[in-house]
Structure 1
Amino acid sequence: MLRAFFRTEAGSTSVLLGATVLALVWANSAWGASYEAFWHTPVGLSFGDADFSLDLRHWVNDGLMTLFFFLIGLEISYEVRLGQLRDRRLLAVPAVAAFGGLLVPAGVYLALNAGGPGAGGWGVPIATDTAFVLGVLAVVGARCPEPLRAFLLTLAIVDDVLAIIVIAIFYTAELSVSALITAAVLLAAIVMLRWLKIWRAPAYIVLGFGLWVATLESGVHPTLIGIALGVLVFVYAPSEYKLLSAGEAVHEFTHEPNARAAREAARRVQMAVSVNERLQLRIHPWSSYVIVPLFALANAGVVLDSEALRQAATSPITIGVVAGLLLGKFAGIALGTWLPLRFGWGVLPGNLVWGQLLGGAAVSGIGFTVSLFIVDLAFDDPAIQSQAKIGILVGSLLSALVGWTIFRMAWDRGGVCAPPETIIEPVEELPELLSVPVGPDDHVRGPDDAKVTIVEYGDFECPYCGRLHPIMEELLSRNSGARLVFRHFPLRTIHPRAVPAALAAEGAALGGKFWEMHDTLFTNQRFLTDDDIARYAAELDVEPWPDVPGQLARIGRDEESGRASGARGTPTLFINGVRYHGGMDLQSISRAVAEAEARADAESREAS
């Protein structure tokens, strides 16, 4: 899901940038007067004597952007139920960072504009434009590892939620009670359809359009309805039954290909995936390549003549927006990242370093789509709107340049989950020897006097580690002269449940039952929610998370030793302190163990 999101957003950045440049060129060309004239063209619908009309800009801002916010609602719903936001440990750091990225920019802006005509624009520098941020990260390339992309995506989702709350509370016009009641009734009808499990698209489209019109007339910005409807869309993980049913249908089609079997296979495969995910797949390209670029084309056309630039250069509104995006976002996100890490409230995905985090904090100052959106809500004076938009353009450009510079100086690290024999190692020369010898703090399975010690850097959610688990059990049962040492190397980005599982294993270790929990977790890899893990701990009569800071420190030491030893993926094995490069099958590992045992015997004879 995250990979698909990255590809769509980053790929659309060039279209968004092109639309922005086109708007600026159009507004500053010899035909500049036609820019505002075109977007103020009225377009409406008539029903008998009733007339409903908006100009083109408002159809884009209030209409099409509702779909953009509907997509955000879908993403929030998915991430809360199945994605990054379901893990409170991974959520804590980007959530606090996003909160800091709201408070500090708003404070910086108000410090320059409190009491003035621009005071209402404090919400302009609080939002991050995900599309532009991911576009910059694509340019940065390998200097921005995937864990940082996941961290910034989670931060952007929380940032969107906070921005929506700000819009709802502080940028809502006068309310029409009758229209608001109508909107509430229509929303209740949609909730009722969902509760009754009636999934007829025409019913939702008609009710949704009526809800949009009622909300627009009520004074509440209609894009908030997009968020609400997106959150209500049903999302679920594929059940075992649906997966098996889809597999059977595909199997039937491959054996007897015909139109009926093809239709049935397509239907069952589609039903295995939630409506939420299917809608995201359909709407994302339209949002990224049509709606958001159209919004930029309709709103980014700022006149940049000498007079406008002269006013902007001394305007506290422009300076406040630039300072809020460039300095406020950087300081707020950096502080918001440091605090939860300092007090052990959460963990970071992957093996990130501060240089990368600071680079991410800097590029998060790219505020465009939602910032322009709030300008339209906060100011009525075209001159003040122009000053704020110039501030957005300048602040976003400077944030991108500062972020790119920081990334240039930062060291990148990352991790992969793949069969070790398929991993293409980076240009750096990785160590071949185990950096930290096996000690009394390690988790050891097997005799203390074993001639062969296998150290495994593993991840409880990694499928390749799961396949290796029974192989290692069989190996130890066959060879009494070998022992296994397990060290944690959770790949936090692609395996969001790996860290909670590792914490649970360490919690069980405090009760003397590490290996029991180790085996349980690998046996139940597909079921690693907090509730699942708590149930496993209760069955073993241990506490899963009795000392989270201590457990995190223990896992961190394993990760540090793994990185120092050259581990870049899971599983990574060391046999008697030397990296193992062979296949992850019983025969290959047994052969390597036998060779290591023979060398140990030879060394023992020579020593005697």
Structure 2
Amino acid sequence: MLRAFLRTEAGSTSVLLVATALALLWANSPWGGTYEAFWHTSMGISFGGAEFSLDLRHWVNDGLMTVFFFLIGLEVSYEVRLGQLRDRRLIAVPAVAAFGGMLVPAGVYLLLNYGGPGAGGWGVPIATDTAFVLGLLAVVGARCPDPLRAFLLTLAIVDDVLAIIIIAIFYTDELSVTALITAAVLLAAIMTLRWLKIWRAPAYIVLGFALWVATLESGIHPTLIGIALGVLVFVYAPTDHKLLLAGEAVQEFTSEPSARAAREAALRVQRAVSVNERLQLRLHPWSSYVIVPVFALANAGVQLDGETLRAAVTSPVAIGVALGLLLGKFAGISLGTWLPLRLGWGVLPGNLVWGQLLGGAAVSGIGFTVALFIVDLAFAGSDLHAPAKIGILAGSLLSAGMGWLIFRLAWDRGGVCAPPEAEPAEDLPTTLAVPVGPGDHVRGPADARVTLVEYGDFECPYCGRLHPILEEVLRKNPDVRLVFRHFPLRTLHPRANAAAIVAEAAADRGRFWEMHDILYDNQRFLTDADLEHYAAELDVDPWSDVSRHAARIAVDETSGRDSGVRGTPTLFVNGVRYEGGHDLDSITRAVEESRESA
């Protein structure tokens, strides 16, 4: 689910960029006057004497964007019940970071605009644009990308929820009590259908549209209803019973293909997956490739002539928005990440160092979709529209540039996981301090001409990528042996030490390498329950002698530090530190050279 979401959002970034560029070109072309005229074209429906009409921009901002926020509600519901938000310790850090990433930008903006005509725009720099952030991460190729993207996705979910609450509370002008009561009744009807487990799509579509109209008429922004309805959609993990029924239906179709069997198999398989996940799969492409780009096309167009730009350079609104996104987001998210880690409120998802977190904090200053959305609410009918939009564009571009520099110049470590404080000022040893001995874990012949010693961490993604490469080296070179020594990076990988202990428990039963392979094949699943499951498969008691196994791991760590190991994976070829690339060709060449010299 998470990988599919990331691929969709990152892939839509180019479409969103094109839509933004088209909006700017249109607004600044010789036909620029048609831009506002087109989006102010009225469109509606009438029945008898009743009429409901909005201009095109409001149909986009109030209508289509409700689907966008509906998807956010679906994602929140899924993550809370089945995803990463189930683990409170994993939620705490990005949640506090999201709060800091909203509070500080708003403060920066108000420092420049408090008491002025633009004070109401304090909400503009508070939101992060997930699609642009994930798209930029794909371009810069940030190290340890999956955990960083998971961290930023969790942060973005909390950020979006807080932004919706702020819109509902602070950007609602007038309330219609009659429409509000009608909306409450319709929402209660939808909840009743859910409680009765009536899953008829037409009923939900009719009630949902009526609820949207009632909410719009009430004065509350209808996007709040979008996220509320998304949260209400039922989500569940596939039960064994439903999986069994689906399997039987597929087997029946396989043995006796027919239209009836195909329909039954399709229905059974579909019912095994929750409505929430099915809706996400269907609506994400429409939201990412149609709705959000159309929103950008309708809202990003701003005239960038000399007069407008000169006014923006001195405008407290434009400066406040740009600095809020560039400096406020960076400072707020960085502080919001450091504080819960310092106080022990939570943990990171793993594989992250401060350079990556700072880069993520910087690119989170890319505010676009929700920022433009709030501009329309805060400055409706005001001449502050243009400066605010220019501030969004400037702040977002500067934030993207700062994040790119942090990733490329400060923290690109060439495929090795290492904490920033692990880089010493002195020259490191280049030879193995402790020779291979009887206590080592060895795979390969005892009389091998070439010995590879790997200092590894079972949670390190680079070690995971190196694992099949080393297996291929051993397969192609019968005179090579591999020695594995533990070097868990506890500050980066919270599950690495527990995994190492379980591997040592397996070694007591002569099954170290079997456990070694299982752990690398399942790096994303290293909770205590997961480790106990792997141990049960090998008939191993994982926690039989933790203190002795921890001492054994400490011996490996000491020998690694004495050998100059500061990150993982670190390889030694016949006792000499290997400095080449971690690819098959490079390691094979190093083995051949060592074989010749031996």
Shorter-normalised TM range: 0.7 to 0.9
Aligned partner letter, 1:201? A
> How far apart, CA to CA, are the structure 2 residues paired with 1:228 and 1:16?
26
Q: Which runs of 5+ in 2 are unaligned?
A: 417-429, 442-452, 465-483, 534-540, 544-549, 579-598
In the alignment, what sits opposite 1:425? none
> How far apart, CA to CA, are the structure 2 residues paired with 1:349 and 1:228?
28
In the alignment, what sits opposite 1:104? 104
Structure 1 residue 486, shift from structure 2 partner: 8.4
In the alignment, what sits opposite 1:84? 84
Deviation larger for 65-74 or 77-86: 77-86
Cα deviations across residues 187-233 of structure 1 (Å, max 9, x unaligned)? 11111111111100000000000100000000000011000000011
Counting only pairs closer than 5 Å after superposition, residues 322-401 of structure 1 correspond to structure 2 as 322-401=322-401
Cα deviations across residues 515-566 of structure 1 (Å, max 9, x unaligned)? 9xx99xx99x9xx999989x99xxx9x9xxxxxxx9xxx9xx89x98x9597
> How far apart, CA to CA, are the structure 2 residues paired with 1:351 and 1:195?
41
* Corresponding residue pairs, total: 529
Counting only pairs closer than 5 Å after superposition, residues 465-544 of structure 1 correspond to structure 2 as none
Structure 1 residue 344, shift from structure 2 partner: 2.1
SS in structure 1 at match of 2:12: helix
In the alignment, what sits opposite 2:584? none
In the alignment, what sits opposite 1:52? 52
Counting only pairs closer than 5 Å after superposition, residues 454-473 of structure 1 correspond to structure 2 as none
SS in structure 2 at match of 1:174: coil
TM-score by length of 1: 0.73
> How far apart, CA to CA, are the structure 2 residues paired with 1:87 and 1:413?
30
SS in structure 2 at match of 1:179: helix
Q: Contact 1:180/1:218 (CA < 8 Å) preserved in 2?
A: yes
> How far apart, CA to CA, are the structure 2 residues paired with 1:235 and 1:197?
12
Q: Contact 1:459/1:490 (CA < 8 Å) preserved in 2?
A: no
Aligned partner letter, 1:103? L
> How far apart, CA to CA, are the structure 2 residues paired with 1:203 and 1:146?
39
In the alignment, what sits opposite 2:284? 284
In the superposition, relative to structure 1, how do residues 271 and 115 fare at CA in structure 2: closer, same or farther (>3 Å)?
A: same
SS in structure 2 at match of 1:383: coil
Structure 1 residue 157, shift from structure 2 partner: 1.0
> How far apart, CA to CA, are the structure 2 residues paired with 1:138 and 1:505?
30
Counting only pairs closer than 5 Å after superposition, residues 156-305 of structure 1 correspond to structure 2 as 156-305=156-305
In the superposition, relative to structure 1, how do residues 292 and 532 fare at CA in structure 2: closer, same or farther (>3 Å)?
A: same
Q: Contact 1:455/1:487 (CA < 8 Å) preserved in 2?
A: no
> How far apart, CA to CA, are the structure 2 residues paired with 1:266 and 1:435?
59
Aligned partner letter, 1:251? Q
> How far apart, CA to CA, are the structure 1 residues paired with 2:71 and 2:343?
34
Structure 1 residue 384, shift from structure 2 partner: 0.4
Structure 1 residue 411, shift from structure 2 partner: 3.2
> How far apart, CA to CA, are the structure 2 residues paired with 1:55 and 1:531?
56
TM-score by length of 2: 0.75
Structure 1 residue 362, shift from structure 2 partner: 0.9
Deviation larger for 345-354 or 96-105: 345-354
Cα deviations across residues 22-55 of structure 1 (Å, max 9, x unaligned)? 1111111111111111111111111211111100
Cα deviations across residues 421-465 of structure 1 (Å, max 9, x unaligned)? xxxxxxxxxxxx998989xxxxx99xxxxxxxx9997869x9x9x
Structure 1 residue 152, shift from structure 2 partner: 1.2
Aligned partner letter, 2:324? G
> How far apart, CA to CA, are the structure 1 residues paired with 2:413 and 2:260?
50
Q: CA RMSD in A?
A: 5.0
In the superposition, relative to structure 1, how do residues 285 and 360 fare at CA in structure 2: closer, same or farther (>3 Å)?
A: same
> How far apart, CA to CA, are the structure 1 residues paired with 2:163 and 2:29?
34
Aligned partner letter, 1:264? E
In the superposition, relative to structure 1, how do residues 387 and 222 fare at CA in structure 2: closer, same or farther (>3 Å)?
A: same
> How far apart, CA to CA, are the structure 1 residues paired with 2:260 and 2:393?
55
Aligned partner letter, 1:240? D
Q: Contact 2:490/2:497 (CA < 8 Å) preserved in 1?
A: no
In the superposition, relative to structure 1, how do residues 35 and 458 fare at CA in structure 2: closer, same or farther (>3 Å)?
A: same
> How far apart, CA to CA, are the structure 1 residues paired with 2:293 and 2:413?
33
In the superposition, relative to structure 1, how do residues 400 and 87 fare at CA in structure 2: closer, same or farther (>3 Å)?
A: same
Deviation larger for 300-309 or 338-347: 338-347
Counting only pairs closer than 5 Å after superposition, residues 30-45 of structure 1 correspond to structure 2 as 30-45=30-45
Q: Contact 1:352/1:413 (CA < 8 Å) preserved in 2?
A: no
In the superposition, relative to structure 1, how do residues 270 and 436 fare at CA in structure 2: closer, same or farther (>3 Å)?
A: farther
Q: 1:9 and 2:9 equivalent?
A: yes
Structure 1 residue 294, shift from structure 2 partner: 0.6
Structure 1 residue 326, shift from structure 2 partner: 0.5
Q: Contact 2:67/2:226 (CA < 8 Å) preserved in 1?
A: yes
Deviation larger for 108-117 or 248-257: 248-257
> How far apart, CA to CA, are the structure 1 residues paired with 2:81 and 2:433?
39
In the alignment, what sits opposite 2:132? 132
In the alignment, what sits opposite 1:587? none
Q: Contact 2:23/2:298 (CA < 8 Å) preserved in 1?
A: yes
> How far apart, CA to CA, are the structure 2 residues paired with 1:276 and 1:258?
30
Deviation larger for 285-294 or 264-273: 264-273
In the superposition, relative to structure 1, how do residues 217 and 153 fare at CA in structure 2: closer, same or farther (>3 Å)?
A: same
> How far apart, CA to CA, are the structure 1 residues paired with 2:69 and 2:171?
16
Counting only pairs closer than 5 Å after superposition, residues 550-569 of structure 1 correspond to structure 2 as 564=565
Q: Contact 1:415/1:491 (CA < 8 Å) preserved in 2?
A: no
Deviation larger for 199-208 or 334-343: 334-343
